[in-house]
Structure 1
Amino acid sequence: MVSSNFIDYVKINCRSGAGGAGSVHFRREKHVPKGGPDGGDGGRGGHIILKGNAQLWTLLHLKYRKHVKAEGGNAGEGGRRSGGQGEDVILEVPLGTIARHAETNEKMAEITEDGQEIILLPGGRGGLGNDHFKNSTQQAPYYAQPGEEGQEAWVILELKLLADVGLVGFPNAGKSTLLSVLSAARPEIADYPFTTLVPNLGVVAYRDYKSFVMADIPGIIEGASQGKGLGLRFLRHIERNSILLFLIPATSENIRGEYETLLNELREYNPELMDKKRLVAISKIDLVSDEELASIKKQVPEQLPVSFISSVSQRGLEQLKDTIWQSLNVPAEQE
């Protein structure tokens, strides 16, 4: 597979900082030779923090950063002076990033908004100084708490693209061409399968300065949910799309069968995908005659909005955008 700057999966070792130790100290001044305990608390260790950044679209900047370690807290000092906190480490990630524990697969965090911050691994608490342990029977404690250890874990960061519309179809169905015509995105386009090796996002302009985001997901093949082809690697990006737009070329020998195969692959991968809104677009209608098109209209899935389009001649594209926009903005009680 060709190298790419689109990285949607990284595994990194994270370690938060240990807390600083509390201080064992007694007040000693010229006229106070036997002052009481005044040991300060240790500082908290640095956190490992995930932060959403809408300007990022890939995890490439973390691909070669295998170890992330936050600073430990400083020890407390006399005069009830607390130690300084360890510096936090902030990992900026694209919106749609999920963090999982590599060993348990437990979801640790999910970033969906710009500027959102979630503590992935908290730093250890600083220990209490001996000033906290004085009492009526122990007025000069020679004891202070050690700082709490930091936490360490291997963390998987997984990006799932956030888009309003996800294009679903077999390789060479015309997804990249459609995205390039509807938006300013410039995906690689050629007349052979698997031209698209990474997901592409495009902003589609709509009437009255409105817009929606469309994602071109690399082509699915039969068996993708079991790991065949490129499908398994990119099926997770479909999970975050509000609408699934099934793109099937008019030149297909079995349009209904192709739709059912695509639907089955999504169902096998994640049954929850069946709850998403679905639209169908028959592409490449410029390659068939009017008689063939009339026959095709009898094969399309029932009870779903179906559009007939040609990205090359730009037939039906405005109607397709109307259908998408209406589907995106149907009130929940009308669905």
Structure 2
Amino acid sequence: MAIEEKFGKVSTSEDTHEVSQTGAFVRQDNYFVTPFGDGEGELPVEAGRYRLIWTPLCPWATRQIIALKLLGLEDAVSVGTVGPVRTENGWEFSLDEGGVDPVLKIRFLPEIYAETAPEYEGRATVPVVVDVKTRKVVNNDYHHLTNYWETAWKPLHKEGAPDLYPEELREDIDELNAVIFHEVNNGVYKSGFAQSQEEYEKAYDVLFQRLDWLEERLSKSRYLFGDQITDSDIRLYVTLARFDVGYYFCFKTNRNRLTDFENLWNYAKDLYTIPAFREATDFDSIKKGYHLGNHAHNPYNILPLGPDLSIWDEPHNRDEKFGKRKFEY
């Protein structure tokens, strides 16, 4: 039985309403955007109350896991994982025993979306935070979710946790994050999901112009804001980690590989040496999700053997250029 027959109208794939009349990809808005905090109507910060659902395929979801690990929130927020290939019924808990999430007791993610908001007609997306106490979806706002972990959840941070969103830099971080999202994070999707040559080329040009700009910026500092990792680095990294494995081929972003950029490549390898980044980066899932999922036109489901992923363990040159890392993450 199709998911919509059982649970209603929740969509499971990129729909025509996400493509403009000119053939440009226009990502759907987030629906559950209530912030975490102690204000009226906000989501209370409470250890053990929430479950974060993610897949290692998704860049927006992966950055939540990186933030949780860096901040020491893994014991405060439980994590459920859906498989990397989205099915015709939506994201599936195929990695769990019996194919059912052990906490929510559901097989497909759209089930909990439909339970929460029967009127919702968009895709059931990850990352998503579910309030286990009320059994409702409460937040799928990937634009701001890492910021909530970094600020509202600060009382539950581990001792010595890094300040990923320093108050004095927040305006600058927000400004750069918006650029990174529209032109890089979502820029690869605008290229890959374009349905006209003109919109594809437009997105392609914007993407590589921005990557060239970031390459120059990272020639002058170890990270995007000096010598300490910030929220912006998490957001850029998740796209870089998927670039050669997925986007270069599947999304036709093939002017350069990541490995062809000296500073971006060494910057990415530097971040990969940090446990939080490495543990959240599952190249096998990324490859399967982009080459076998609905992102690719691959009727015979042939999984490419390359690229060689061992190069991620080769030394980077960031210590040589900028000195030893000043903070242990």
Same fold (TM over 0.5): no
* TM-score bucket of the superposed structures, by smaller chain: under 0.3
Which structure is larger by alpha-carbon Rg, 1 or 2? 1
Q: TM-score, normalised by structure 2?
A: 0.27
Structure with the higher fraction of residues in strand conformation: 1
Structure with the higher fraction of residues in helix conformation: 2
Q: Which has the higher contact order (CA 8 A, sep 6+)?
A: 2
